Amino acid sequence: MIDKLINDIKGLVKNFRKAYQFLKDVKKIYEDEFKGNDGIVMLPKEGRYLIVGDLHGDFNSLTLILEQVDLKNFIDSGGKVIFLGDYIDRGPMQPHVILTVFMLKTLYPESIITLRGNHEPPKWLMPYPHDFPDVLKMVYGATEGTVLYSSFFEIFQKMPYAALIRENALLVHGGPPTVNIEKSKDLITYINVVKSPYSKKILEEILWNDPIEADVIAYPSPRGAGFLFGRRTTRLALNILKVNMIIRAHEPVDGIRFSHNGRVVTVFSMKGYYFNRYGAYIDLNTGDPLWLSKFESMVHYY
């Protein structure tokens, strides 16, 4: 299955017309989903979840993960895959990675969740570097690459920004937002970008925040966007959302890092670019009542 998928992706990378039509179909899937969930994917309390962090054009790590978990059997047995964003920029095979993720979404729309990262940006908060537009121009030519980037950008605006495994975990790219956290009482008032008067700030923080060990709400972030959220924010967020853990990506680490007494987990799946020795993914089984105590055994390094 993976070999066929790779061949299909290579065909899209080489053919502008096929890629353009494919992205039109992908956009429709995301638009329909966003209308139904406001960009927040609600998932069953008990289930098996494959969780993948930043990839940034690392096609080798992506295909390795899909092969190691035996993707088709994983999904056929009821498993779901949650990508935490940042598919593009920096790495050597950016079109291959993002097109593979979108291809999986078209094949298994109910089983593949593709969260948005800060490198799938809103127009008002572009990351740096953001070399994906230039990569597309090199692959497809200046005019056609520009057209394709516009198609990708439209899809980014409709990608989900959060997933919630009921009673268990919040999954986002950056971290829980700090804006209005002390007044929020539920999911909608806290993280719903569509319904909140703080929509831009909430989205910015979800895409850009990083944890810090201080027992505070937040400190300014050296990134220039988002905040460094402290242990107090984590406690409040877990209480509001009635979950046990926050799983996020965004920071280059050696595969996995635990913060805030193990309640915040960072997973990074791109290997080597940031001189990190390992990439990692999580094969999470929340159907096991002892999953929290067994969490480290569900982490896979490569």
What CATH number does the domain containing 43 carry? 3.60.21.10
Beta carbons of 240 and 184 less than 8 angstroms apart? yes
Q: What is the mean pLDDT of residues 262-285?
A: 95
Q: What is the mean pLDDT of residues 250-254?
A: 97
Q: Quick one: 137 exposed, middle or buried, by C-beta within 10 A (0-12, 13-18, 19+)?
A: middle
Per-residue pLDDT at 275: 83
Assigned token pair, 95: 């079109």
Binned at pLDDT 50, 70 and 90, residue 273 comes out as confident
Domains identified in the chain, total number: 1
What is the per-residue pLDDT across 156-188, written as a single tens digit (0 to 9) for each? 999 999 999 999 999 999 999 999 999 999 999
On average, the pLDDT of the chain sits at 97
Binned at pLDDT 50, 70 and 90, residue 249 comes out as very high
Binned at pLDDT 50, 70 and 90, residue 242 comes out as very high
Q: In this structure, is the dihedral angle defined by the CA atoms of residues 89, 94, 97 and 98, taken in order, positive or negative?
A: positive
Q: Is the N-terminal amide bond of 129 cis, ω within 30° of 0?
A: yes
Beta carbons of 40 and 190 less than 8 angstroms apart? no
Could you give the CA distance from residue 244 to residue 24 in angstroms, rounded to a whole number?
A: 38
Binned at pLDDT 50, 70 and 90, residue 1 comes out as confident
Please report the beta strands in the chain, taking only residues with DSSP state E, as ranges in sequence order: 40-43, 48-52, 80-83, 112-114, 162-165, 169-171, 210-211, 218-220, 227-229, 245-248, 256-259, 264-267, 280-285, 299-301
Which domain, by its residues, includes 180? 2-301
